[in-house]
Amino acid sequence: MGIAERKIRQKEEFRTSILEAAWQQVISDGWQSLSIRKIADAIEYSIPVIYNHFENKEAILLEFTKEGFQKLADTLQLVKDQYAIPAEQLEAMAHAYWDFAFDHKEYYQLMFGLGIPACDRVNEIEELKNATSIMISSIKAAIEQSNQPETDYFLKYHTYLSILHGLVSIQMIQKEGKPDSAKKMILQDAISGFIISINRINA
Amino acid sequence: MGIAERKIRQKEEFRTSILEAAWQQVISDGWQSLSIRKIADAIEYSIPVIYNHFENKEAILLEFTKEGFQKLADTLQLVKDQYAIPAEQLEAMAHAYWDFAFDHKEYYQLMFGLGIPACDRVNEIEELKNATSIMISSIKAAIEQSNQPETDYFLKYHTYLSILHGLVSIQMIQKEGKPDSAKKMILQDAISGFIISINRINA
DNA sequence: TTACTTTTGTTAACAGTGTTAATAAAAGTA
DNA sequence: TACTTTTATTAACACTGTTAACAAAAGTAA
């Protein structure tokens, strides 16, 4: 019987309409200003219906966090596929990471900024693992081709991500709008140093 | 007349008692849980008295932000003074920065985490400038002693800070407690790369 | 000491927030 | 049509930051 199917479909539509209304709110007024009441108001339903589709507000935020990590993963994969040499992949992905952060500032702030409260579950996000594995595989490849193939790839990945996140978040705190492209030199500088640190002989 | 002096003294005591009560709250339940009402309750006064001493909640947070940056500045200066060679200063300060972040997690999260809302005024904090100048002077000295004394020291400072903040914040998101000392190798790895990138010949 | 002014503190409220229990309405099933 | 299940609503609870109106205490001057 098609009734059940229609119900599921309607439920799904309802769900996405909640997310769309929420996203609209975030775009215009930021995460801090997002509230269940405003969402309910936007979709022209009463407040408790939202709790039929999401356990709580955090669940809504988690949804966007996942979305954000998947978008990042897709972006990284797309860029990575354009290069064959691991070092070039890492450099290109670094720039893509930077661009993603500032082109999708709302996502990024949720993924890494407001994520502190929900940090217990942050490692269980599948979409995060996707993004992670894309970067790690390039790191591994770069290490294998280097003069010191015994290097701890997980350590290097951690360093790589930390540099990227550090650059982005420091930049985001200091400047309100998009950073001038000259500031991307800092990224270039740091990432060059990182890549060299993989390739160089440990003297 | 001593009355005015006593009043100023009392006002100052009141102010610090508010901050102490707030800090107590933060230590036991974190920043998210800090509220004006709880502070008022702790000092056994009604709510509005707090607004006689602080314009709003953000002003209280700003006070702790300043405190945090000054503590960081003091720590960095102390460590820096133990070394004469700029590169060694940078390495030692990096470790001190890391230790500060995890020994004073509450401060650090406020200084860099929740600072996003108040990011307009973050550059006007004098205590932040103190910490900054301590690091910058070492960077400058290191560049002057290097093979490329024309390097943009502000760019390098930015890179230095970004690496540090990136390492700390990524680590803080992932692990709840203090990171095992093995994780400090990541810091060592990244900072070594950075120092080499200052000294090396730009081939 | 008394009358007045200023400072300081309190109560009560406003405008929000996330969340949920009780209840009404609608939809599906027999 | 009668019953059951799903869905939506109203109203409330327990919070939040902030402030206006008012009472009490403290300081000042005659």
For residue range A74-119, list pLDDT tens digits in order: 999 999 999 999 999 999 999 999 999 999 999 999 998 765 444 4
Please list every residue in chain B whose beta carbon sits closer than 8 Å to the beta carbon of residue A188: none
pTM of the complete model:
0.91
Number of other residues whose CB lies within 10 A of the CB of residue A174: 13
Is residue A170 within 8 angstroms of chain B, CB to CB?
yes
Among candidates B164, B165, B197 on the partner chain, residue whose Cβ is nearest the Cβ of A193: B197
Q: Is B166's Cβ below 8 Å from some Cβ in A?
A: yes
Q: Would you state the pLDDT for residue A8?
A: 80
Nearest CA in chain A to B112: A173
Torsion angle (degrees, nearest 10) of CA A124, B110, A96, B158? -140
Helix (H) or strand (E) holding B71: helix B57-80
Looking at beta carbons, which residues of chain B come within 8 Å of A189?
155-156, 159, 197
Predicted local confidence at residue B118, as pLDDT: 45
Contacts of B196 in chain A (CB under 8 A): 193, 196-197, 200
> Does at least one atom of strand C sit less than 7 Å from the CB of B57?
no
The nearest alpha carbon in chain A to B182 belongs to: A155
Could you say which residues of chain B have pLDDT below 70?
Answer: 1-3, 114-123, 175-177, 200-203
On whether the CB atoms of residues B99 and B74 are closer than 8 A, the answer is no
Q: Are B98 and B187 in contact (CB under 8 A)?
A: yes
Question: Between B166, B173, B196, which is nearest A166 by CB?
Answer: B166
Mean pLDDT, rounded, for A125-138: 94
In this prediction, residue A202 carries a pLDDT of: 45
- Closest-CA distance of chain A to residue B190, Å: 6
pLDDT digits (tens, 9 = 90+) for B22-39: 999 999 999 999 999 999
Q: How far apart are alpha carbons B188 and B90 in whole angstroms?
A: 11
Q: Are B158 and A186 in contact (CB under 8 A)?
A: yes
Q: What is the pLDDT, as a whole number, of residue A119?
A: 46
Residue A182 has pLDDT above 80, yes or no: no
**Test the B interface: residue of A156, A189, A200 with most B CBs within 10 Å:** A189
CA of B20 to C1' of C15 (A): 29
CA distances from A195 to A73, A144, A200, B55, B168 (A): 21, 13, 9, 49, 21
Q: Is A161 helix (H, G, I), strand (E, B) or coil?
A: helix
- The tokens for A138 are 């390039």
The Cα A74–Cα A66 span in angstroms is 12
